[in-house]
Amino acid sequence: MHDDFTERGMGMKKIALFGGTFDPIHRGHIETALRLADALALDSVILMPTHVPPHKVKESLTPAADRLAMCRIAAEPYAKITVSDMEITRGGASFTVDTLTELSEQYPDTAWYLFTGADMFCTMRSWYRFADIAAMATLCTVPRDGTDGQRLREYAATLQQQGARCFVADAAVTTVSSSDVRERLASNEPIDGLLPDGVEDYIRAHGLYSTAAAQTGDRDEQFRAIIRARLGDYRYHHSLCVADEAKRLAKRYGGDEKKAYTAGLLHDIMKDTDPNTQLQILDDFAILLDGVERQVKKLWHARVGAVFIDKILHVGDAEIVNAVRYHTTGRAGMSLLEKIVFVADFTSADRNYPDVDEIRRLSDISLEETMEYALAYTIHDLLNRGQAIHPDTLAVYNELILAKMAGGQTHE
Ligand code: DGI
Ligand code: FE
Ligand code: FE
């Protein structure tokens, strides 16, 4: 049922666009891509992970950068399967017609094929600028199981009556669904054979698709593996040092040593993540930055880290989430855990800035004195460099000074 292009010249390449959330990419996707490439003698299939708008987000929302990375791992063994970050980089909602237009500019002299899953295929006619899509690409699908081939061919026939070129593959591929994969991962069920090589390892190493219910074993050990995968050597070492230091401070000041250690491990989890990816994650979870945060990229990792450990790693502890969220700026009314992580970030064993000995000495005497010193140090530094000071930083500084003044007055 494939209408050949009459205009297709000898030198023309044949490329299929295969869009999807790929959350996560599974063997069914790869088989489909290979099947299409084979059936249509394609030169390549481009996997295009889509940007997922926040209102479409259900229980799972895997950062776009991770969905992209998994696609790249899955495609790696296959010369004909490539991966594009065009829609993810573009952000917002992408229309297929725009993606096809941009691809046509990138790859001129190409006969385009647009692959969609069976369900999407049957909604084609209502897609934005369907006529333009149909003019640009052959519309392709693969039956989901043995029963829907007929339905797809009938729908394809109606599209062809409107001038579209269509192709319905004649055999179903193995049915795998991403939601099934997510559920299995979330409940620690085996996912044997459902994922392309390397994807499961990536998922486990990066802490994706876990749920609070499915958590077993030594969480700190898992968190160490996750930050190892997400951070460079320097930042990983720093995080281990902050965790140890936070635990020490918790012991010294009567805090929860275990929570302090975990919060220390996770506090900089997003520090080495590309700023655009960080913005995407904030966007995914509909988090708005305030005026200073918008301008100062260095503040983002605390907000992104907090939402990531909350919504994706499911640390399941609001105190730890807040300790990560406020570890850079501080805030008025900080909890003991928040103060411990804030201070540990200054006094950890890896730090070697000029005042580190003084601040370590203070950290054995008073958490508040240490906070005041650290904040004054940061504020001085920001003033010297002509940087904006976050209102939360001023708020906690003032709170400490005012408390000291009030304390002083009551003794007079
Ligand atoms: O992530 P770390 O390097 O371990 O430490 P951090 O999370 O405290 O980040 C420190 C950086 O953030 C440092 O370069 C100073 C900057 N920073 C902290 N508070 C403010 C700030 N930058 C601005 N502009 N305003 C702040 O209030
Ligand atoms: Fe930090
Ligand atoms: Fe840090």
Number of domains in the chain: 2
Mean pLDDT of 216-227: 91
164 CB-contact burial (10 Å; exposed 0-12 / middle 13-18 / buried 19+):
buried
* 131 and 175 share one domain: yes
Nearest-atom number in ligand 1 for the CA of 387 is 24
* 157 and 249 share one domain: no
Instruction: Tell whether the torsion through CA atoms of 233, 229, 274 and 310 is positive or negative.
Output: negative
* 291 and 399 share one domain: yes
Domain CATH number, residue 364: 1.10.3210.10
Q: Is 298 in the pocket of ligand 1 (CB under 6 A)?
A: yes
Residue 334: pLDDT over 90? yes
> Which residue, 118, 49, 55, is CA-closest to 84?
49
Domain CATH number, residue 170: 3.40.50.620
Q: Is 328 in the pocket of ligand 1 (CB under 6 A)?
A: yes
Q: If you measure from the C-alpha of residue 238 to the centroid of ligand 3, how many angstroms do you get, rounded to a whole number?
A: 7
Question: Could you read off the pLDDT of 135-176 as tens digits, one per residue?
Answer: 999 999 988 777 788 889 999 999 999 899 999 987 666 778
Residue 211: pLDDT over 90? no
Q: Is 347 in the pocket of ligand 1 (CB under 6 A)?
A: no
Q: How far apart are CA 15 and CA 117, in angstroms?
A: 17
Which of the ligands is closest to the CA of residue 377?
Answer: 1
Q: In the listed set 213, 236, 263, which residue is the last one of a domain according to the structure?
A: 213
Q: Is 388 in the pocket of ligand 1 (CB under 6 A)?
A: yes
Determine, yes or no, domain membership for 411.
no
* 124 and 259 share one domain: no
Nearest-atom number in ligand 1 for the CA of 327 is 7
* 121 and 147 share one domain: yes
Determine, yes or no, domain membership for 155.
yes
pLDDT at position 193: 87
Q: If you measure from the C-alpha of residue 338 to the centroid of ligand 3, how many angstroms do you get, rounded to a whole number?
A: 13
Determine, yes or no, domain membership for 121.
yes
Question: Could you read off the pLDDT of 23-75 as tens digits, one per residue?
Answer: 999 999 999 999 999 999 999 999 999 987 656 656 567 999 999 999 999 99
Residue 299's domain spans which residues? 219-406
β-bridge partners, 18: 47, 115
* 348 and 223 share one domain: yes
Instruction: Using a pLDDT cut of 70, give the percent of the chain over it.
Output: 93
To 10 degrees, what angle do helices 27-39 and 64-75 make? Answer: 50
Q: Is 294 in the pocket of ligand 1 (CB under 6 A)?
A: no
Determine, yes or no, domain membership for 280.
yes
Give the distance, in angstroms, between the CA of residue 67 and the centroid of all CA atoms in the same chain: 7
Determine, yes or no, domain membership for 412.
no
* 42 and 154 share one domain: yes
Instruction: Using a pLDDT cut of 90, give the percent of the chain over it.
Output: 75
pLDDT at position 55: 60
Q: In the listed set 195, 213, 231, which residue is the last one of a domain according to the structure?
A: 213
Determine, yes or no, domain membership for 105.
yes
* 175 and 248 share one domain: no
* 63 and 104 share one domain: yes
* 267 and 346 share one domain: yes
Mean pLDDT of 191-204: 92
* 29 and 76 share one domain: yes
Q: Is 297 in the pocket of ligand 1 (CB under 6 A)?
A: no
* 71 and 184 share one domain: yes
pLDDT at position 349: 97
Q: How far apart are CA 358 and CA 355, in angstroms?
A: 5
Residue 326: pLDDT over 50? yes
pLDDT at position 270: 98
Q: Is 213 in the pocket of ligand 1 (CB under 6 A)?
A: no
Mean pLDDT of 317-334: 98
pLDDT, greater one: 117 or 305: 305
Q: Is 393 in the pocket of ligand 1 (CB under 6 A)?
A: yes
Q: Which among 271, 298, 326 is the best mutation to test ligand 1's pocket, defined by most ligand atoms within 8 Å of the CB?
A: 298
Q: In the listed set 177, 192, 213, which residue is the last one of a domain according to the structure?
A: 213
pLDDT at position 59: 58
Which of the ligands is closest to the CA of residue 329?
Answer: 1
Question: Could you read off the pLDDT of 380-412 as tens digits, one per residue?
Answer: 999 999 999 999 999 999 999 999 888 876 544
